[in-house]
Structure 1
Amino acid sequence: MKPTLMLVDDESRVLEVLVKTFESQYQIFSFTGAHDALELLKRQPVQVIITDERMPKMNGMTFLKEAKVWAPNTVNIILTAYTDINVAIEAINSAVVYRYVVKPWDTDDLRTIVRQAFERYALVQENKKLTDELIAKNAALEQNLKQLKETQEKLLRQEKLAVVGQLTASIGHELRNPLSRIKASAALMRNEILPEEKEKKELLQIIDNEVMISTKIINDLLDYSRDRKTIFKSGNFNIIIDETLMRMRFPDEVEVVRELASDLPDNQVDEGQIQQILINLMLNAIQAMEYSGKIYVRTHHDGDAAIVEIKDTGCGISNENLERIFEPLFTTKPKGIGLGMCIVKMLIEKHGGTIGITSRENIGTTVKIRIPFHPNFMEN
């Protein structure tokens, strides 16, 4: 296929000479007016343009500036009379025009200029191609470096977690026993406190909160250091939620609002793991609200899966922290080790489910869990 050359001159005789000069070498598009030439460029860019400067309605410089919009890579040559040389020089300096040719021109010189224009076009295109390839390779290299860094960080976390697992196995159970005794003692003391002894009641609440946090840390460490098999049985999320809430002790200033769908079908689930998920999320909500606020627990289904939503009225999570919330050992809490949400996600994925989190700072957070139904328990 021949290279494409556009010729624009309002004088038909000049245009005819130009066409005869170049038609054997190039595919020619010739026009006596700039507007018609621009209409073609909107549909089909060309490689080189030769245009007269002095034309009615639209001069050559204006035409070439318009042409750059539709054909930015075109190499432009302008034909000018002696009196227009200053205009041509200004055009070259502004990078709109590659060369100018003074009328009347020497045919051999014009052929040489046009040949050089096509060579320039080819060089520019090759340079653009190489630049694009280099950008693509740099992008690929940056991606590879990013993946390498993430892999190294993951390996480092795994090494840390391996050490944590070894320590946890030896001390976890020993710590649980005294915490249980502290919790039981606090419960007994609460029964003996008179209604007017508010200060003692507040101190016992602090003990309860600290025991709750410490127990959660130990449980997270133990759960992460062992890979317990998931045992699926028929279960209903509404029942599991009720049982979980009965097991938990909430601070006096925390209100739990249940909105459980009455038509929720059963799932195939590991009830122990589901309870563990719910407890983790509830404790996170309590801490986010600083032990005062409302927790909304909702269930519904979309026909294919059970959906559980837990919403709190706490401090919320920033977008930056939200992106890292499932990373092991990532935490913004002064008391915590950053394994809770990692464990939650891991257990949900064992059920073939997904978890999503939306949050607004100083307003609250909503966690949405979706667990697919087992076909044997879908209602017709």
Structure 2
Amino acid sequence: MPNIISNFTLSQKIVLICGVSSAIPVFIIATLSGLDMYYTLFLIMLTLVFSTLLSSALAKPIQLGVQSLETGLLNFKDGEFSSLLAYKSNDELGKLCQLYNQTAKQLRQEKQWIYQRELMLDKVLQSSPQALLLVNDNSTVVFSNLISRSLFNSSTRLEGMQLSKLLENSPLQLVAAIEHGIDGLFNIEIENQDSQTWHLATGEFLLNNQKHHLYIFKQLTRELSRQEVAVWKKVIRIISHELNNSLGPMSSMLHSAQLLANKVDEPRLARVFATIDERISHLTEFVQGYGKFAKLPQPQKTRINWQNTLNNLKNHWQFSYEIKNSPHQLQADQAQIEQLLINLLKNAHESGSNINEIYIQVEFVTQACVINVSDSGKGMSEQVMANALVPFYSTKSTGSGLGLALCREIAEAHQGHISLHNKIKGGINVQVSLPYS
């Protein structure tokens, strides 16, 4: 009997209790009054019918309230928080439904906030300069960002791929680093390109009760180059400071000596002082050139008018040029961009190139202004090209080794980059990529 009653709904239990509670007193009163058995049964049946109808009517609001709560909780289970309960009776169930509606509104707001945060996090991860790869316990990629496709030489999304399949077309050094599975540095050798230095950070955590492996790849090549340039700049500043401290007094003493020499009839002294003066001037100019590299100011960006800029340069240098897809605008430091082009044109003219084959192309591509300066000179060997952007490195007997280094500084100050490539038919093409707004 208890098992049967436990299967009843709350409304059925209320009706049963009301029926039994009303039938028992009628039976006792009828028995004590000595009423006929059939008359007693009639009274009990009549009482049961009346109590059932009355209790059903009273239990109906309770049934509706319970059904509303059940529907709402099923919505909660499915992650749906937009539905509210319409039950608004001023009783205990009504208060529970009101509390449910308040909870649903708060959860809906929190869900929307979490969704916005997820969108923001996804945007940050997708635009991160670090390659991210999340792999589950079945070695299946469940998340990756855009830069990871480039790292793993894939033109499609990585999600859903097996890690072993993904590594088939990856550099051997990258495969070894992942298989090793611990934090550390590794180098990737790419044909016809400089070696790239990467740092791998790994981690494990539970997601949906399943173990996941996170791989974070950070390219350190540019960062190491910046640190190297920063060291060079510090050295240059120290040397420039010491030289300037000596050149000032030397120039002053030379001027005094020249005044004294004017009173002495010795032509050789004039030649000696003239030579010293010429070397001091040359050394001063030399120091100032290095100081310009060591103290490159922050770019003061304005709109670059390429037509006027290139036409002004043609007054001093011979070259031809082309401007492609010009509707876009580049915001950059006019003086620094001109200095960059002057350095590249100077190198092109000193490369032994035919003057008529020195060419500048300015092209606007997706999110970047690409400047190509090419010549038909002798080109560069692999060793020279590997060190061409390093300060002080020069293959010219009178070169300072700062021309291309300053170009790199200017490009990186504009959040861009510079690269050098030998042309198939001879000569060099220097490509500068600058992001535009």
* TM-score bin (small chain): 0.3 to 0.5
